[in-house]
Amino acid sequence: MKIMMLAGDKSSSHLVYQKINKTFPISKVVMEDGLSKKGMLKRRRKRLGLRTVVGQVLFQLFCLPFLKREAQGRIQQIIRKEDMDAAKIPASELQRVGSINDEETIAAIQLETPDLILVCGTRIISQQVLEATEAPFVNIHAGITPYYRGSHGGYWALVKKDKRNCGVTLHYIDTGIDTGSIIAQAKISVTPKDNFVTYPYLQLAKGIQLLERFLSENKMETITPKIADKDRKGEVFYHPTLFQYLKFRKQLKVK
């Protein structure tokens, strides 16, 4: 199977590449530049409103640095336990683009003619890119879909007192936000040492296991959700605001 990767320049992308490439060689990686902070805030304001965006910025300024410092040892523990490698993807393997939806990405896909495209840490992929090949696009989503779409699905499942749906989903990509057909799902086990920053590492470790199993079995088929209630509707989640985080940490002990 010829595998190509579309990635954002994030730690998760490098971890996935290093782990998967050992057994299932990745022929090419197209990596996009990150969105500008100004552009990201503008999009969030339009979608969520000014008050929510201000609260999210305050969370990132006053809570996230503390949580990252608190999580450093635990992150390294997870990486060692799961035999993951945090080394950067070699520059020689990368093609840089401004956006994963640029014409350059389409040209790279058509030149590479992959059998499968792994997606990790990118913005929402456009219909034009998805239609540039017959190859399926596969993503590790940090949440149980369709119930926890968007960002930080593990954290929000804990906030909702929904531990049975605190996990990760391997799924095909379509034009929606984490709405593609499900390949596999798994729950994670959260310890007292974990917090908002480490949940995604636990999810990524489980997601990589699901991806390795999928690649080894080479089955291009989908499943129906097996973990959550079938009648329950999904929701798209975003970063918490400062006020939400402090409230849930105090009342629910969710870190």
Whole-angstrom distance, CA of residue 94 vs CA of residue 141: 23
Three-state SS sequence of the chain: CCEEEEEECCHHHHHHHHHHHCCCCEEEEEEECCCCHHHHHHHHHHHHCHHHHHHHHHHHHHCHHHHHHHHHHHHHHHHHHCCCCCCCCCHHHEEEECCCCCHHHHHHHHHHCCCEEEEECCCCCCHHHHCCCCCCEEEEECCCCCCEEECCHHHHHHHCCCHHHCEEEEEECCCCCCCCCEEEEEECCCCCCCCCCCHHHHHHHHHHHHHHHHHHHCCCCCECCCCCCCCCCCEEECCCCHHHHHHHHHHHCCC
Structure tokens at 219: 């089955």
Lookup: tokens for 64: 């996230």
Report d(CA 79, CA 203) in Å as an integer.
12
Which tens digit of pLDDT belongs to each residue from 174-227? 988 999 999 999 999 999 999 999 999 999 999 999 999 999 987 655 444 444
Label residue 117 left, alpha or beta by phi (over 0 means left) and psi (-120 to 50 means alpha). beta
Residue 251 corresponds to which tokens in the numbers above?
Answer: 């009342």
Axis-axis angle for helices 64-81, 199-217 (nearest 10): 40
Residue 229: pLDDT over 80: no
Q: Report the predicted TM-score, pTM, of the whole model to 2 decimal places.
A: 0.92
Query: Per residue in 124-172, pLDDT tens?
Result: 999 999 999 999 999 999 999 999 999 999 999 999 999 999 999 999 9
pLDDT value at position 35? 75
Under a CB-based contact definition with an 8 Å cutoff, are residues 171 and 220 in contact? Answer: no
| Backbone angle region of 9, left / alpha / beta, with phi > 0 → left and psi within -120 to 50 → alpha | beta
Assign domain 3-252 to its CATH architecture. 3-Layer(aba) Sandwich (3.40)
Extract the tokens encoding 108.
């790279």
Structure-token pair, residue 15: 């971890």
Which of 25-29, 58-62, 230-234, 235-239 is predicted with the least confidence, judged by mean pLDDT? 230-234
pLDDT of 42 reads: 82
Chain centroid to CA 56: 19
Q: Are 170 and 204 in contact (CB under 8 A)?
A: no
Per-residue pLDDT, 220: 55
pLDDT in tens, 29-84: 999 998 777 777 788 888 899 999 999 999 999 999 999 999 999 999 999 999 99
